[in-house]
Amino acid sequence: MSHFQFVDRHIGPRKADVDLMLEKLGVSSLDELINQTVPASIRLKEPLNLGDGISEDAYLQRIRELAMKNRVLKTYIGMGYYGTHTPSVIIRNVLENPVWYTSYTPYQAEISQGRLEALLNFQTMVSELTAMEVANASLLDEATAAGEALIMMYNTRSKDQLKSDVNTCLIDEAIWPQTRAVIETRALGLGIDLEFVNASELNYNPKVHFGLILQYPDAMGRVSDYRSLVNTVHDAGGKVAVATDLIALCMLVPPGEWGADIVFGSSQRMGVPMAYGGPHAAFFATRDELKRSMPGRIIGVSKDVHGNPALRMALQTREQHIKREKATSNICTAQALLATMAGFYAVYHGPEGLKGIASRIHRYACALAAALEHIGLDRQNKQFFDTLHYKLPKGPTSEKLRNMALSRGINLLYTGVSQFGISIDETTTLKDVEELLALISECIGAETPVVSTEVSTALPQSLLRTSEFMKQEVFNRYHSETEMMRYIKRLDRKDVSLAHSMIPLGSCTMKLNPATAMFAITWPEFANLHPFVPLDQAQGYHEMMSDLRSDLAKITGFADVSLQPNSGANGEYSGLMVIRAWHEHRGEGHRNVALIPASAHGTNPASAVMAGLKVVVVDCDDKGNIDMEDLRSKVEEYSDILACVIVTYPSTHGVFEASIRELCDMVHKHGGQVYMDGANMNAQVGLSSPGFIGADVCHLNLHKTFAIPHGGGGPGVGPIGVAPHLVDFLPGHPVIDNRRPATLTVAAAPWGSAGVLPITYGYIKMMGGDGLTMASKIAILNANYIAASLDSEFNVLYKGENGRVAHELILDCRPIKHESGVSELDIAKRLMDYGFHAPTLSFPVAGTLMVEPTESESKAELDRFIEAIRNIRQEIAEVIEGVADKEDNVLKNAPHSQYDIVSDEWNHKYSREKAAYPLPWVRTNKFWLSVSRVDDAWGDRNLFCSCDPISNY
């Protein structure tokens, strides 16, 4: 076994490097640097009580022991989660490939063309199967997508509806219970009234209702013809949103063909494991006229400066950091990696393959239904796709059936004393159908009949799909494993990830995602568990999650932690809803003001609005700190209605503000709560904690601080920690008891994206308390080393009282732009020619670059980045001095694609070598871009969001 501990593998700088970096900073030790950076008043007095870090071998043994405590039975529960076969070519080349899982959200289009194409495939698949005109690039899960559909219909009410304050949405009572719970929580925050009704009996009143949400097939497995109902709603000026199943739509008439305005659901059964509830990519599609109101990210087709086709994230001005309190959604992280997998599943199978899967599922369901009818069972849903619901005859109970089924290793759905359901999926075989039939026959005392698969469909012709779908070339070409492998490789070669170089994005913490911590997520004991199985079948999960919650509580200094929020933004929203619930419980529901610093990330005000709070902005001073006098003034002004303050710590400006405890005391004195945004916890772990500082709630970004991959824009996980008085208000769940009162539900699954929690669990166990603390120290060291190295070239905008930054720094490009005409955007694009992803652009201050190196980057990599920035500064000097043309220079024309460099035409006033190889070391690991600078404005003016042939555009 290696003598290296995991912490030595995770942290980039070696001891000798640390000494050199400290010398550069003029300090004698790491502790001296930390003492200069982190205020003494908030420093923990005791080390983290998490024990020593364990070896990678020991962790693998531990996680294997936990895996063996999970029991994977044949499960037919359904309810939005189904067994599926993930093609090995996708597991090996996507899920287990660091190019895909370590990449960031594709804001920088030129170095993201591969995953942009993969996400465009997903969007196209969704549009084709739903028969809708435009789809987004994924949402968090089906239940939160339902919440987004509710809000979108509410926000797009007609002028007459707005004038009349029409405020109620009709909802089919036969939706999944988890979806209902999330919708109820979302409506609570926005004051929207809900009316749950039987779809066959509803009465749509345009003076009362603004929309309708249906499930198709519904929670009872019924497939209904909703054409007439939808026409009625439309004639009355309302909108219709439909939750559906993509595999079912390979057979059923899609909602887009019978008038739906919004179609949403989960793409989980498109090759994504159930993973005890997630992560899975929700889909969301709408009509073209509503596309600019659609939540989430949209991948669009644009062109580069030479007119070549290029992809980009379209309509980025809708992002929360721009719209802030005017945002209509707080969605930030989506589920990009899972959407990529689902899209590749569709590419690999193609339309005929998907039809075959759907047909086989339906045929086996029909075969079982016919056999059960033969033994006298009366089916409760006449028309079905994959799900059958029955009532047992007099005598046997569902409890008897449950016990018999468990003894055979089978899980069914039980809905009452004598009711049960069966959902067939892609993994179901003829043998499975025969075993199900034998089980039920024995339970009711009937002779088991022979199963015949020569059965006709249970559906009338009017419900069967006749339209073709997915005729695009990409879905009809890559059906051999060789071709699929090469297609995936062709795409991943177009993207920069941590496999290529440091990703220095400020406020994003692009640290190493340790391979050892990721092994277990593909093991069947973790990957193949349905979220609603009995708890004793998931003992390994629960032992792990209990331990993880305890560790996170110690790290944050809080009493308890909820793992349910499945993104950072959802964590923010959840924490604010907990605060709201606490105020209401105390008879102070009128407290509705959230004070938010001007420097805050845009999801803060967006989440506050979603929680029904009024946003009041607090100024920042010239040093980037919260203006304490302005805060004091506003706390006093809103004292009677103050709900909370939302503060990021260290600040979004990358500084440990010494006044943080004063802030907490001030807000508490006036009856408010302190919500701490945990985006910057990577500088806090082991050195301080939100609870110790005085916060009441904090969300964590496990995809930042705790090593879960970003996946090109998700999955994210955003658990919240709370002080003792808020524990009783943490999110609950209506289906599985997660030991919380189910007054708030914020995700479809009881424990959110449980399937990736082994990554954080492994990271914490292998790092140990001392290792996590060292990670924070090295993150601070790396940032200060870059700041000290670049301060003479680019002014570092904000520093703490002792001249130190926290774990990130802001480079001010505004004076350079004024002098040279070279913008921060030009610098960001030129960095791509050096093989680096750009830092965070113009956030939190316009005209700047924010850099966060993390603890995982070595001194050698930091030095390469520093040298690149310095060389770019010299290139700017050449423009200023007139050596380089003000317009035709390496910065204004950056990035230079491989096609630029090899073109027969070269009309620039600088050499190809200067463009492509600006420094000697670039030659040894050159990242060749597939497109030149993308024309963002053209893409927004000409919004195309599917992978049709480019000639169509």
Work out the number of other CB atoms within 10 angstroms of the CB of residue 482: 9
pLDDT at 742 over 70: no
Distance separating alpha carbons of residues 163 and 90, to the nearest angstrom: 51
> Minimum mean pLDDT among 451-465, 489-503, 728-742, 899-913: which range?
728-742
Is the per-residue pLDDT at 316 higher than 70?
A: no
For residue 205, give both structure tokens: 């009143």
End-to-end CA, the chain: 58
Residue 2 confidence class, pLDDT cut points 50, 70, 90: low
Asked if residue 565 lies in contact with residue 577, where contact means CB atoms within 8 angstroms, the answer is: no
Secondary structure E strands in 307-448 = 309-314, 378-379, 387-391, 410-411, 413-414, 419-423
Whether the per-residue pLDDT at 327 is higher than 70: the answer is no
Q: Which tokens is 497 given?
A: 């990830």
* Cα–Cα distance, 288 to 855 (Å, whole number): 45
Nearest-angstrom CA–CA distance, 817 and 796: 15
pLDDT confidence bin for 951, thresholds 50/70/90 = very low
Distance of CA 625 to the CA centre of its chain: 30
Whether residue 317 is predicted with pLDDT greater than 50 in this model: the reply is no
Phi, psi of 466 (to 5 degrees): -115, -15
The rounded distance, in Å, linking the Cα atoms of 253 and 232 is: 19
| Residue burial 117-148, b: 16+ Cβ < 10 Å; e: rest | bbbbbbbbbbbbbbbbbbbbbbbbbbbbbbbb
Angle between helices 481-492 and 113-130 (to 10 degrees): 120
3-state secondary structure of 377: coil
Closest alpha carbon to 757 in 279, 281, 141, 338: 279
If you average pLDDT over residues 827-837, what whole number do you get? Answer: 98
- Omega prior to 650 cis, within 30 of 0: yes
12-26, 329-343, 349-363: least confident range: 329-343
Query: How many alpha carbons fall within 13 Å on the CB side of residue 928?
Result: 11
Task: Report the pLDDT value the prediction gives residue 953, as an integer from 0 to 100.
Answer: 38
Q: Are 412 and 77 in contact (CB under 8 A)?
A: yes
Among left, alpha and beta (phi > 0; psi -120 to 50; other), residue 752 is: left
> CA angle, 489 as apex, 485 and 493 as ends, to 5°?
180
Q: Which of 290, 226, 224, 225 is nearest to 261 (CA)?
A: 290
860, β-bridge pairs: none
- How many CB atoms are located within 10 Å of the residue 914 CB? 15
Burial state string for 245-262 with b = 16 or more CB within 10 A and e = fewer than 16: bbbbbbbbbbbbbbbbbb
Task: Report whether 100 contacts 337 (CB < 8 A).
Answer: yes
Q: Backbone phi, then psi, for 4, in 5-degree steps?
A: -75, 135
Q: Estimate to the nearest angstrom the gap between the alpha carbon of 419 and the chain centroid.
A: 36
Residue 1 pLDDT class (50, 70, 90 cuts): very low
Contact between 95 and 342 (Cβ < 8 Å) = no
Give residue 220's pLDDT band: very low, low, confident or very high (50, 70, 90): very high
Residue 322 pLDDT > 70, yes or no? no
Least trusted range by pLDDT, from 11-25, 330-344, 493-507, 510-524:
330-344
Segment 709-722 shows an average pLDDT of 95
Number of Cβ within a 10 Å radius of residue 904: 4
Distance CA 804, CA 67 (A): 45
User: CATH number of 769-924: 3.20.20.70, 3.30.230.80, 3.90.1150.10, 3.30.465.10?
Assistant: 3.90.1150.10
Place of tokens 């994005």: 505
Q: Is 298 exposed, middle or buried (0-12, 13-18, 19+ CB in 10 A)?
A: buried
Angle at the Cα of 646 from the Cα atoms of 642 and 647, rounded to 5 degrees: 135
Q: Name the least confident of 106-120, 308-322, 445-459, 558-572.
A: 308-322
Residue range 42-54+522-767, CATH number: 3.40.640.10
CA torsion, points 851, 855, 860, 863, in degrees to nearest 10?
Answer: 20
Note the helical H segments in 791-919. Answer: 814-820, 824-833, 859-880, 898-902, 912-916
Summarised one tens digit per residue, pLDDT across range 188-214 is 999 999 999 999 888 999 999 999 999
C-alpha to C-alpha distance for 733 and 742, rounded to whole angstroms: 5
DSSP output for 271-314: T---GGG----EEEEE-GGGGGG--S-EEEEEEBTTS-EEEEEE
pLDDT tens readout for residues 751-760: 999 999 999 9
Q: For residues 608 and 576, is the Cβ–Cβ distance under 8 A? A: yes
DSSP tag of 675? E
Give the three-state DSSP class for 60. Answer: helix
Strand partners, 264: 243, 284
Please, which residues have CB within 8 angstroms of residue 719's CB and are 6 or more apart in sequence?
A: 549, 552, 561, 562, 563, 564, 565, 571, 699, 700, 702, 752
Closest by Cα among 248, 240, 317, 334 to 283 = 334
Q: Are 559 and 696 in contact (CB under 8 A)?
A: no
Across the range 282-298, mean pLDDT stands at 94
Asked if pLDDT for residue 90 goes beyond 60, the answer is yes
Q: Where are the domains of the chain?
A: 42-54+522-767, 71-501+925-953, 769-924
pLDDT at 876 over 60: yes
Residues with Cβ within 8 Å of residue 634, at least 6 apart in sequence: 595, 616, 618
Element (H, E) at 850: strand 848-851
Average model confidence (pLDDT) across the chain: 95
Sorted by sequence, the CB contacts under 8 Å of residue 546 that are 6+ apart come out as none
What's the CATH architecture for 71-501+925-953? 3-Layer(aba) Sandwich (3.40)
**Cross-strand partners of 185:** none
CB 750 within 8 Å of CB 535: no
Max intra-chain CA distance, the chain: 94
Is the confidence at residue 779, as pLDDT, over 80? yes
How far is residue 414's CA from residue 402's CA, in Å, rounded to a whole number? 8
Instruction: Write the CB contacts of 144 (distance below 8 Å, at least 6 apart in sequence).
Output: 182, 186, 282, 566, 570, 746, 747, 748
pLDDT at 936 over 90: no
Residue 600 has a pLDDT of 87
Count CB neighbours of 391 within 10 A.
16
Q: Do domains 71-501+925-953 and 769-924 have the same CATH topology?
A: no
Please report how many Cα atoms fall inside a 13 Å half-sphere around the Cα of residue 267, on the Cβ side. Answer: 38
Helices (H) and strands (E) in the chain, counts: 31, 25
ω into 514 cis (within 30 of 0): no
Dihedral sign, CA of 269, 272, 276, 277? negative
Residue 779: which H helix or E strand, with range? helix 757-790
* Arithmetic mean of pLDDT, 373-389: 96
